[in-house]
Each structure stands twice: as C-alpha cells, then as structure tokens.
Amino acid sequence: VSRARLTGTVLTLNEERNIEFCLRSLYAWCDEIIVIDMKSDDRTQELARRYTDLVMEHERIVDFGLARQLGFDQATGDWILSIDADEVVTPQLAGWIRDFVDSDPAYELALIPRANVFLGRWLRSTPWWPGKPRLFRKGAMGATTDLHRPIVPSSPVRVAKLPRRPEISLWHFTRLSLEDIMSKSNHYTTIEARHALASGEADPKPHQLFWRSFREIVVYVAKRGYRDGLGGLAYALDRAYYRFLLQAKRWDIP
C-alpha cells in the first residue's frame, strides 16, 4: 500500500504559550503543516514559522471556527488532522494515525479521544472524554460556526472510533488558571448567545437559568466528578456558571 499524504492544520490566535508544543508533536510525521492565524498580536506567527512555511493569515472573526476552512481548502494531503494550538498529539497516537491512513481504510472519518487537562489536572470523570472528529479524508468534513460541533460531515461518512486510552488521545491543555476560565467563559458565552439570538430563539424562561446550570451539577454527581478532586469540582462549577451566563446573555444582549 502506498503511503498516504497527511496534512495537519492548526487554528491560532495569540497562542505563543502553546504553539511550539503543538507543532513539535506534528513535525516529525505529518507531510504538511498549515497554520491558520487570525492576526495574532504576539509571537505566534514567528514561532510557527520555525516548523512550517505555510502560515496563513485569516481575518479575526467572531465565528472563528470558520477560519479552519481555509486550512482544509489549502491542504494537499489525502487526509487532514485538524487540531487546536492547545492540543498535543502523543507519539503513540501519531503512530496509530500514520498506520491508519497508510492502510487505505474503509472510513472517511476517525473519532479521536481527547484527554483534557483542566487547572493542571487530567479530568477523567467528565463528558469531555468522548472521541472528537479530527482526522478525515480531504473533502469529507467542513467547518461550522457551532462551538460544540466545529467540524461536520460534508456528506455521509463511515466512522472509525479509537479506544479511550490516554496514550492514543489528543491531550488538551485548557483553562490553566482561574483567570483563563473566566475569560474563556465570558468570550464563548457571548458568541453562543449571539448565535441563539440570530437564529430567532426567544428570551430564556426564568427556570431555564436555574435548570440548565443545575443539570451540570447532576452530571458531576452522576459521573463521580469528585474523584478528580478540586479540579473536578471547579470544572462542574465552571460548567454551571457557563450555562447560567449563556442564558442570561440571551436576555441581556440587545
């Protein structure tokens, strides 16, 4: 079987803290790396050019997920691996991906599990541990404005699923401080609230502000999030506050 060509794409905005860790994890085994940068104010582009000549600028847009499509369109690989700058591919996962694409599999998409490091701790008891649609044949997937489903099939696809093992997972280093938590929650809830208003959703009912937040606490208990210690509790409270803030902004944004 001939060797498949593989393109790694990375979307960035002011990621000088993370970008080298991410690109180092791709450099040795991807045939092509494309960085789509939304006009960073820091050294992101400078650092990225140490690993690839394909650093492309995209306008800084609120619906930032759409910027991924530039990388998908410009990729020359048979397969595309789409990751974020705060994610790292383990050597074991890199080996699995390389073997998978080179075998000419009967699939268009592979769901890759993601291990999330929250406040410096890997959270094992949260809904953040399913597979993510990150590895696909070129043309099989497209970018969207949906924060929770940023990449969706362009047509029906056959799906391969990796086992949920940490050594063959993407490692996601998210929300590394309380300040980071507050900043991201505020930013992302504004985006989601504006999408909801644009789609014609009505103002939230009073019970929605309570119930959607309370549901996150129910999930925390059901999944025994207390096993993750203070990090697990902080995650649950962050999710509850996120749901409250999202519903409240639907009412507050004019």
What 154-160 contacts at long range (C-beta under 8 Å, 24+ apart), as own/partner pairs, is 157/107, 157/108, 157/109, 158/106, 158/107, 158/108, 158/109, 159/107, 159/108, 159/109, 159/110, 159/111, 160/100, 160/105, 160/107, 160/109, 160/110, 160/111
Question: 117 vs 148, which has greater pLDDT?
Answer: 117
Strands (E), 90-140: 109-118, 121-122, 131-137
Question: 160 vs 1, which has greater pLDDT?
Answer: 160
Q: Tell whether the model's pLDDT for residue 46 goes beyond 70.
A: yes
pLDDT at 252: 83
Is the distance from CB of 12 to CB of 38 less than 8 angstroms? yes
Is the distance from CB of 29 to CB of 5 less than 8 angstroms? no
- Does the pTM surpass 0.85? The reply is yes
**CB-based burial, 53-88: b 16+ in 10 Å, e otherwise:** ebbeebeeeeebbbbbbbbbeebebbbbbbbbbbbb
**CB-based burial, 136-172: b 16+ in 10 Å, e otherwise:** bbbebbbbbeeeeebbeeeeebeebebeeeeebbbbb
Q: Tell whether the model's pLDDT for residue 163 goes beyond 70.
A: yes
pLDDT at 199: 83
Identify the band that residue 129 occupies on the pLDDT scale cut at 50, 70 and 90.
low
- pLDDT tens column, 82-122: 999 999 999 999 999 999 999 999 999 999 999 989 888 88
